[in-house]
Structure 1
Amino acid sequence: MASPRARTPLAEQVTELLAPGGPLPIVAAGDPVLRRPAEPYDGQLAPELLARFVQALRDTMRAAPGVGLAAVQVGVGLRIAVIEDPAPVSEEVRIARERVPQPFRVLVNPSYEAVGARRAAFYEGCLSVPGWQAVVARHAEVRLRAWDEHGRAVDEVFTGWPARIVQHETDHLDGVLYVDRAEPRSLASHEAMAARWTQPTPEAAARSLGFELP
């Protein structure tokens, strides 16, 4: 990554955003920032400001709570995301969804590619689409290439639920929401999810709502 630029418009935006302190406001679907590809990070933020912004993303993600958050979700069009998943799920869910804990990490300029042809479909939600979930078929294994917040290269394969998180957050930085990839007939409110579709897999939902799984 290049050295920081002095007083870029994005730096001014981030400085203003951080000024109140506490978790950042999350942008909801309908805001154009969620539909524009984010600008690659190339030193637009000074190191101290980048560190503060990353911490704010982490605090906001945890407060929401969520397992990932992209910069565009707080209105900043930079190609930066954070992920973290303590995976507080039952053994049955862990096995069915291949959901294992993920430590906190920062993804700068991430991209992914599928590893193999296997796909998995599960209900998925988004902090920028509050109140709803839908089934999304995604690559079961992906290779992530990115940088961390210190400029170190990341080249790692993710499988199962961690692969889903990587795809979801990287998609955000490309202007893609999970609903773009979702099965429309699976769309369910949080209330419907709690009442009907708490099973580890969406097979019952597929039969009842009339959609196919891969």
Structure 2
Amino acid sequence: MATETTPDYPCTPEELTDIITSPCGGLCMMPSDAYNEVFPNIFIGEESIAKNRMGLKGIGITHILNAAEGNSDYHVNINAEMYKRVDIIYYGIKAMDQMNFQLTPYFDKSVEFIQQAIDAGGKVMVNCKMGASRSATLVLAYLMIEHHMPVQDATRLVRSKREICPNDGFMQQLCDLNEQLKKAGHFDKNQDEKTDIEHE
């Protein structure tokens, strides 16, 4: 996956907001579709598609990651038992779409779940209530960790496929992850791959 040169400066939620809102003149738009494929075999969706087991099977979903597990109005009340009959593997996170909620502790497990699905030849639906904040944040973290994309590149890619709007707290957590990965030389692997391709 080609990437732009990783910026030397630390990213900010404001920078990510600019990337997200630039296609709509500075407005943060809610998704216009129930779900979208934002990366090969990875989908982001809202509550309606997450609860539609036959709809999920119809698009070939084999795994579902619910980033809003719970039974309040702000959650999506689904569980592993619901999907056994249609052979969909389920993983749920009890996250709140609030600025002070720490989603970072769930990044590694979510990335592992998504990658296991991809490695098995499957398709993953990552959902939350609206398919715009919690789910988008987890997919962005996945692209950063597994595909060595700086957060700016990951955000541009996902936003080109779906309207997303992570809250400012989640965007700060993604920026913090970006700085951590950048200091570890994580994004250099992407540049090395790009250079190898250019020299073939």
Flag the structure with larger Rg.
1
* TM-score (ref. length: structure 1): 0.25
Higher RCO by CA contacts (8 Å cutoff, separation 6 or greater): 2
Query: Which has the larger strand fraction?
Result: 1
Whose helix proportion is higher, 1 or 2? 2
